[in-house]
Amino acid sequence: MQLLDGAPASAADLQPLALTGFGHFTTMRVERGGVRGLARHLARLARDCRTVFRAELDIATARDQLRAAIADEPDPVIVRVTVFDPRLGVERPGAEARPRVLMTPRPAAPARPPALRVRTVRFARELPAVKHTGLFGALLARAEAQRDGWDDAVFADDAGRLAEGPTWNLGFVRDGDVVWPAADALPGVTAAVLDDALRAHSVPSSTAAVTPADLPRMDAAFATNAGFGVRPIASIDGVAWDPAHPALERLETAYLGIPLEQV
């Protein structure tokens, strides 16, 4: 059930968000009543609320509302938690904010989606440190890539450095090590908890600039987000990899081994 501050949300409740799109969110996959990286998701909500609204978010209450939102949902379920203030219009978005919390559950996609074929697009996310609701540019890049026969897009900055996808973080495997691209990108919770798990398993990881010229030297590529965990990337532009590379299976095993934090 879609809940706004713990109560059923009506169309009128959602109209201000639809009209202005001024807010921020996080998305998590809930399995057996738990979430990988729950504390990080909640910390993101609190941090972004301070940035966007200059207000404090009651995380304990939000957690209670999340528990209520999943009570009657199938397992597993994806829940998007959106923070917005319906009183803030386009004329005075800087007025004193009283943020509200919207819980939107939806059925979880298959745990092992097919590998992605993506193309590079010159694009920079606006305020990448915040997971905000302004997704038009990112989704347009995805739409245009799909219309041209690709599965998705991957963003490159003005220096040609690869950064991320529209709704996922990007990673590579090179000589057994995991390489995270060094470029402005949304700091993903799934990428962070996966990196923690890799370090716990003594799998080396590092951050380095990656350009299209570096792709032939990579052994594998992958995407991460809360919905699917680790997803193989079969190709970027004209460079292809084996989506069944053993390193990717090890990454998925490490991710699935991350303990669930109970809601």
Cβ atoms of 191 and 183 within 8 Å: the answer is: no
Spatial separation of the C-alpha atoms in residues 160 and 172, rounded to whole Å: 16
The fold for domain 116-262 equals D-amino Acid Aminotransferase; Chain A, domain 2 (3.20.10)
- Domain limits, the chain: 3-107, 116-262
* CATH number for the domain running over 3-107: 3.30.470.10
- List, for residues 75-128, the tens digit of each pLDDT value: 999 999 999 999 999 999 999 999 999 999 999 986 678 999 999 999 999 999
Task: Say whether pLDDT at 71 is over 80.
Answer: yes
Q: What is the DSSP letter of 108?
A: P
| Joined tokens for residue 10 | 């009506």
- Selection from 176, 228, 232 nearest residue 204 by Cα: 176
The answer, yes or no, to whether the previous bond of 76 is cis (omega within 30 of 0) is: yes
Spatial separation of the C-alpha atoms in residues 237 and 119, rounded to whole Å: 5
| Joined tokens for residue 100 | 């509200």
Task: Say whether pLDDT at 148 is over 80.
Answer: yes
How far, CA to CA in Å, does 221 sit from each of 61, 111, 149, 195, 231?
38, 18, 20, 15, 9
- List, for residues 192-236, the tens digit of each pLDDT value: 999 999 988 888 999 999 999 999 999 999 999 999 999 999 999
pLDDT at 111: 65
Q: Where does the chain have alpha helices with state H?
A: 11-20, 38-53, 59-69, 136-147, 189-200, 246-256
State mean pLDDT over 45-55: 98
Spatial separation of the C-alpha atoms in residues 214 and 210, rounded to whole Å: 6
Spatial separation of the C-alpha atoms in residues 221 and 129, rounded to whole Å: 23
- Work out the number of other CB atoms within 10 angstroms of the CB of residue 82: 20
Cβ atoms of 168 and 113 within 8 Å: the answer is: no
Classify residue 175 as exposed, middle or buried by CB count within 10 Å of its CB (0-12, 13-18, 19+).
exposed
Spatial separation of the C-alpha atoms in residues 35 and 260, rounded to whole Å: 5
Decide: pTM greater than 0.85.
yes
